[in-house]
Structure 1
Amino acid sequence: MSRLAGLLAALWAGVLACVAGIATPSAFALLPRAEAGRVAGRILAIEAHLSLALGLLVLMMTWRLARDAAEAGRGSRMSAELLLAAGTLFCTVAGYFAVQPMMEAARAGQGPWSFGALHAVSSVFFALKGLLVLALAWRLSRPAQTS
């Protein structure tokens, strides 16, 4: 199960890298700004839902791995991998599902925060999620420890 969780995390990291490095910059390079913003918004919505699904799946897998290791006397139920997976979910929920509606309100001139400030907050959550997913993939790719 550790290999499968590591593979999912590595594929997830690749998706995040493609969204950040290829898909959204390409939209802004080829389309008028307003249209590119709509395309990027759609790409990020798909990524957020995919991240939510992958995050929950990887969280359940790392929880099971931590539980099995704890029962075998090789660690705690609160493993670093479990915390990394939980962190990715937090970044997804906070960075997209909480901040995105605030960005829409800011675009309409409502709320105390500017669109730019909220975009920066969302970008930080996305970058942090990427780093957490990379760390998770790295840790899950370790060779299995034998007792």
Structure 2
Amino acid sequence: MAPSRIASLLAGLWAGALLAVGLIGAPAAFAVLATPAEAGRVAGRMFSVEAPLSLALAMVLFLLERRRARDGGGSQFSTGMLLALGALFCTVAGYYAVLPMMDAVRAGQSTLTFATLHIVSTAFFALKGLLVLALAWRLSRPPASS
């Protein structure tokens, strides 16, 4: 299978996973479980699985895009590569930086509020979803005919 087809498949699967977690899984947990704390634990578990998956997929897609740019003789910083790096940044910032801050708020060790950090985390997740959708859209385009 060609690297461009693999990249397109991976980006589509990644976009689907993000949509499933953000639009189905987390809202369902809050709709069904008895307390917000229980639902938060379930949603947190989903995000704890999604974050390393996102890191891995971002790196694989970055490398595939880099190879495609190198083989095509184009710029080393293609739009696809920048979209993958943007999604990688959103994962690191939204999960690996904001989540410890949310834990500090729960422990009473921060001046920020949980709601503020939740909004920031949600914004990073939503932006990541948009970047991955844009990447999947770009990669699924048919190749330009010569």
Normalising by structure 1, what TM-score?
0.93
Displacement after TM superposition at 1:120 (Å): 0.4
Give the Cα separation in 1 of the matches to 2:144 and 2:68. Answer: 12
Displacement after TM superposition at 1:112 (Å): 2.6
Please state if 1:7 is matched with 2:1: no
Q: Counterpart of 1:139 in structure 2: which amino acid?
A: R
Corresponding position of 1:17? 19
Give the Cα separation in 2 of the matches to 1:34 and 1:130. Answer: 25
Kindly, what percent of the aligned residue pairs are identical? 62
Displacement after TM superposition at 1:79 (Å): 0.5
Q: In structure 2, which of residues 31, 39, 60 is the aligned counterpart of residue 57 of structure 1?
A: 60
Give the Cα separation in 2 of the matches to 1:42 and 1:139. Answer: 31
Give the Cα separation in 2 of the matches to 1:61 and 1:112. Answer: 42
Give the Cα separation in 2 of the matches to 1:14 and 1:65. Answer: 23
| Gaps in structure 2 of 5+ consecutive residues | none
Written as runs of structure 1 = structure 2, the 5 A alignment for 1:30-41 is 30-31=32-33, 32-41=35-44
Give the Cα separation in 2 of the matches to 1:78 and 1:52. Answer: 19
Query: Structure 1: which 4+ aligned runs deviate by more than 6 Å?
Result: none
Please state if 1:29 is matched with 2:31: yes
Displacement after TM superposition at 1:145 (Å): 3.0
| Gaps in structure 1 of 5+ consecutive residues | none
Normalising by structure 2, what TM-score?
0.94
Aligned residues: 143
Give the Cα separation in 2 of the matches to 1:112 and 1:146. Answer: 57
Displacement after TM superposition at 1:77 (Å): 1.2
Give the Cα separation in 1 of the matches to 2:91 and 2:56. Answer: 10
Displacement after TM superposition at 1:76 (Å): 1.1
Give the Cα separation in 2 of the matches to 1:24 and 1:40. Answer: 5
